[in-house]
């Protein structure tokens, strides 16, 4: 049994991106630790969500703990930085924001947790933070630096499968109705997620989708039942959330050979071959 540390930017990112993997790891008897960089103070505030005197940061931290209980997470830690807001916002300059954090100092904080936990696996985000949010980019930088400090051999970038999302959008006549303009633009951008060819691990979480949905619902201040995510029908929800995607960073430095065409079995796509090739599963 091993300890896996999942590093995320904001409360709710863990539920959306890696909930199924965390739950499966916990069910398999591993120790699962969640580290969240910020309190998510700049999320949208819906009317009547907050109790008197409650701040959004307090509420969102409580929601992480609730999701953590649902997902069988053993320890939740916050690094204590402030949400930096979307790229280009004035809040990016807030000295207490994660975007302004000194990578050296922040990675020390995370490395200390990794060392305490004798972590075997760390998940961070891809280099552009999936979709360019400053705090997500910073998770990549700080996470990679912390992994180097703590000597973590297996580092995975949680990401989105750009090709799959584009296929899904093309296949759905209802895509126009399903996706608002901003999401559609984002998903078609060249720097959204990672190209499928570079994804090394697709974790099938379709058998624990209800648990993942419950973890998302725990973030009631951000993901309302009417939200884009929870309002999808079961089929689209399964397509969007039934697989969690990772790039094994430790396989990108030349230490692992990429499968060649000759490794492909009859009837197998290059990508399926790659999945089979990387038989070292993210779950140790
Ligand atoms: Zn986020």
- Supply the CATH classification number for the domain 3-277: 3.40.50.10320
Residue 261 Cα to ligand 1 middle (Å): 37
**pLDDT at residue 282 is higher than 60:** no
At residue 280, the pLDDT reads 47
Residue 259 Cα to ligand 1 middle (Å): 33
Per-residue pLDDT reduced to its tens digit, 262-280 = 556 667 666 666 565 554 4
At residue 227, the pLDDT reads 87
Residue 207 Cα to ligand 1 middle (Å): 25
Residue 223 Cα to ligand 1 middle (Å): 12
Residue 219 Cα to ligand 1 middle (Å): 12
Per-residue pLDDT reduced to its tens digit, 16-34 = 999 999 999 999 889 999 9
Closest CA to 68 of 12, 118, 123, 114: 12
Residue 2 Cα to ligand 1 middle (Å): 26
Please give the model's pTM, rounded to 2 decimal places.
Answer: 0.89
Pick from 59-63, 162-166, 190-194 the range whose average pLDDT is largest.
Answer: 59-63
Per-residue pLDDT reduced to its tens digit, 103-116 = 999 999 999 999 99
Pick from 130-139, 196-205, 248-257, 258-267 the range whose average pLDDT is largest.
Answer: 130-139
Residue 9 Cα to ligand 1 middle (Å): 5
Residue 31 Cα to ligand 1 middle (Å): 23
Residue 121 Cα to ligand 1 middle (Å): 21
């Amino acid at each position: 049994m091993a300890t896996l540390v999942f590093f995320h930017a904001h409360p709710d990112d863990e539920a959306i991106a890696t909930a199924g993997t965390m739950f499966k790891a916990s069910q398999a008897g591993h120790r699962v630790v969640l580290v969240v960089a910020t309190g998510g103070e700049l999320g949208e505030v819906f009317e009547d969500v907050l109790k008197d005197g409650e701040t959004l940061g307090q509420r969102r931290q409580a929601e992480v703990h609730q999701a953590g209980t649902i997902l069988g997470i053993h320890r939740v830690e916050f690094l204590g930085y402030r949400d930096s807001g979307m790229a280009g916002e004035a809040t990016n300059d807030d000295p207490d924001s994660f975007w302004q954090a000194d990578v050296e100092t922040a990675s020390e904080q995370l490395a200390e947790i990794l060392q305490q936990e004798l972590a075997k696996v760390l998940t961070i985000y891809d280099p552009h933070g999936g979709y360019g949010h400053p705090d997500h980019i910073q998770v990549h930088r700080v996470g990679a630096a912390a992994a180097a400090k703590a000597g973590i051999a297996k580092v995975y970038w949680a990401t989105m499968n750009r090709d799959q999302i584009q296929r899904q959008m093309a296949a759905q006549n209802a895509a126009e109705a399903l996706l608002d303009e901003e999401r559609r633009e984002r998903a078609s951008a060249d720097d959204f997620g990672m190209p499928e060819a570079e994804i090394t691990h697709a974790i099938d979480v379709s058998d624990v989708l209800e648990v993942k949905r419950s973890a998302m619902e725990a973030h009631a201040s951000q993901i309302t039942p009417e939200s884009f995510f929870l309002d999808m029908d079961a089929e689209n929800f399964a397509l969007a959330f039934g697989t969690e995607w990772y790039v094994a960073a430790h396989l990108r430095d030349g230490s692992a050979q990429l499968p060649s065409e000759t490794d492909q079995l009859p009837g197998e796509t290059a990508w399926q071959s790659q999945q089979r090739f990387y038989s070292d599963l993210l779950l140790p």
